Amino acid sequence: MSMLEINDIHTYYGNIHALNGISLKVEKGEIVTLIGANGAGKTTTLRTIAGLLKPRQGQVLLEGEDITKLKAHEVVYKGVAMVPEGRGIFARLTVTENLDLGAYSRTDRQNFAQDLERVFTIFPRLKERQKQVAGTLSGGEQQMLAMGRSLMARPRILLMDEPSMGLAPILVESIFDTIVAINKEGTTILLVEQNALMALSIAARGYVLQTGEIVLLDSAANLKQNEMVRKSYLGIE
């Protein structure tokens, strides 16, 4: 059974038909990437899975369980965590308070210290900045915090929305290394990216999204060789 399966999702913003029948699958332990241009519907897809948007049609299944009708906060309790677009950290709270809120959905508070230690091992810089107000962190640190916070929920699947956005190339590389490390520890990841080259280099499979529809799906290696992908998303003639 797939970790996440969505079938023929149609999502609207008012009358605008944003997603026109999207279907995709993420197997347990995989990194799957969703690439596409601006406005293709990548973020909308993630928000629909997370329950922040309600599809008019279609199904979202988490290990076979239908979570389409659940509210956003209920979806979190099922083990779906999100690293929102633009990081979405709580800028006026401290690093520790942000991480604490990441664990809000957890009922087993006794493991909190252990989880905190785990996040600090992955992101030693966050440990140095524990008491600092999150809004004063640099862009890279904020991304680390957003990722660390989502890990505090011990998700079964992590939805990541453009983790490379607005970061220097050298930082992008280290963030992607961390994504691989998190995946190796057993978290399934669905990654939305504009930086297609980076995304395809760490993902097992990829979907290409165009104006609300999946136009291509293949293994990451094949997608990298695909002429249309090379032209449109990798900028290679």
- Figure out which of the listed residues 76, 157, 172, 179 binds other proteins, where binding follows CB under 8 A: 76
- Figure out which of the listed residues 136, 180, 225, 231 binds other proteins, where binding follows CB under 8 A: 136
| Closer by beta carbon to other proteins, 93 or else 202 | 93
- Kindly state whether residue 73 participates in binding other proteins, applying the rule CB under 8 A: yes
| Terminal CA-CA length for the chain | 39
CA 20 to chain centre: 21
- Kindly state whether residue 101 participates in binding other proteins, applying the rule CB under 8 A: yes
Choose the stretch contacting other proteins; rule: CB under 8 A; options: 3-11, 28-36, 69-77, 210-218. Answer: 69-77
- Figure out which of the listed residues 102, 148, 206, 212 binds other proteins, where binding follows CB under 8 A: 102
| Closer by beta carbon to other proteins, 36 or else 51 | 51
Phi first, then psi, for residue 95 (nearest 5°) are -55, -50
Nearest Cα neighbor of 172 from 202, 152, 149 is: 202
Helix or strand holding residue 149 (H, E) = helix 139-151
| Closer by beta carbon to other proteins, 82 or else 214 | 82
Number of separate helices (H) and strands (E) present in the chain: 10, 10
- Figure out which of the listed residues 140, 197, 213, 216 binds other proteins, where binding follows CB under 8 A: 140
- Kindly state whether residue 82 participates in binding other proteins, applying the rule CB under 8 A: yes
What is the DSSP-derived secondary structure letter of residue 226? Answer: -
> Which residues lie below 8 Å from residue 222, measured CB to CB, with a gap of 6+?
none
- Kindly state whether residue 93 participates in binding other proteins, applying the rule CB under 8 A: yes
| Antiparallel, parallel or unpaired: β 205-210 and 31-36 | parallel
d(CA 231, CA 178): 28
> What residues make contact with other proteins under the rule CB under 8 A?
50, 52, 71-73, 76-77, 81-82, 84, 88-93, 97, 100-102, 104-105, 125, 132-133, 135-136, 138, 140-141, 149, 153, 171, 174
